[in-house]
Amino acid sequence: MLGITFISLCVTLALGRRVVDLTHTFDQNAPKYPLEQWVDKGLDWNMFRMTTLMAKYIGPQNRTWLTLKVTEYYEHQGTHMDAPMHSARGGEDMASISPERLVGPGIVIDVTDKAESDVNYAVTVEDLKKYEADHGRIPPGAIIMMNSGWARKYPDSNKVFGSQNLSDPLSFRFPGFSLEACKFMLNKRQVSVVGVDTPSVDPGIAPEYYCHNHLQPSGVPLLEYVANLDAIPVRGSTIVLGAIKMREGTGGPTRIFALLDDENDGFINGANSVSSRGAIGLLSLSTLYVLCQAVYF
């Protein structure tokens, strides 16, 4: 927690920007994807358990208050990142993801109207091209996120998964990206990270995890359960991903920040290039992020 606060302070002071938190609060109420059908029988594990080791005054004359807890949780709950190794055998773990991937221009694809009328909606290449026609080309290294309005359903598991049968993933219904859109983002736009405000980058109705299977072998981390996307512009933010640097971690809770300029969105008349201030700011942010990570870890 101290490290996350320090990173937030660094970037805020350096850039003089407003910070929007794109993270759901993580606790025992986070929706839980059913794993029993795949997990080896006999394993002793918990989706979420927090145990207090101590909460008392210690030291000379009991002047120092100290609270310590042990927390056990499944990696892929709440607002979290999927490391490439999650869906790519031999892929990068959380500790191996380069810092450059964790900072980038934010792109929000708003499909709230379409998702409201079709809970199985999958973002198409046409949606991405329509976005570019309205807001400019998606830049290389972008952190691109779908806004379907699903964050408003969190943490109600039945609403989030779109099902009354939470033990059967085949009954789940929620939006995501189409395979064609994933191929376009990877091969034509070289995005760094793909995210959604739903439980999975793949739509709930998908017969297989095609986006995971296509993006992660190419080293693309994924974000799921992103919050507050309505609070940031569809273009012009800088996204910072406070991902835990866990060796052999396949994923983990991630604090996501969007940095916004107060007076404008960082782009001039929908141009494809960042303004000079934005470019300098992004460079400064990248440097600061590496320094903050070094101090924290």
Residue 65 lies in a domain: no
Q: What is the mean pLDDT of the chain?
A: 88
Q: What is the mean pLDDT of residues 63-81?
A: 97
**Which residue, 244, 252, 294, is CA-closest to 10?**
294
Residue 150 domain flag: yes
Total count of domains within the chain:
1
Q: What is the pLDDT of residues 54-63, one digit of tens each?
A: 999 999 999 9
Instruction: Assess contact for 278 and 261: CB atoms under 8 A.
Output: yes
pLDDT over threshold 70, residue 268: no
pLDDT at 297 over 70: no
HSE-CB at 59 with a 13 A cutoff on CA atoms is 5
User: Does residue 54 fall inside a structural domain?
Assistant: no
Strand pairing of 143-147 and 193-196?
parallel
pLDDT of residue 15: 53
Q: How many helices (H) and strands (E) does the chain have?
A: 7, 12
| Residue of higher predicted confidence among 113 and 273 | 113
Q: Is 256 inside a domain boundary?
A: yes
pLDDT > 70: percent of the chain: 82
Q: Compute the distance between CA of residue 251 and CA of residue 253 in angstroms, rounded to an integer.
A: 7
* CATH number of the CATH domain containing 9: 3.50.30.50
Mean pLDDT of 190-216: 96
Nearest to 255 by CA among 275, 270, 240: 240
Q: 37 is in which domain, residue-wise?
A: 2-45+75-296
Q: Tokens for 59, please give them.
A: 């030291």
- Helices 276-296 and 2-15 sit at what angle, rounded to 10 degrees? 160
Please give the share of the chain, as a percent, with pLDDT higher than 90: 77
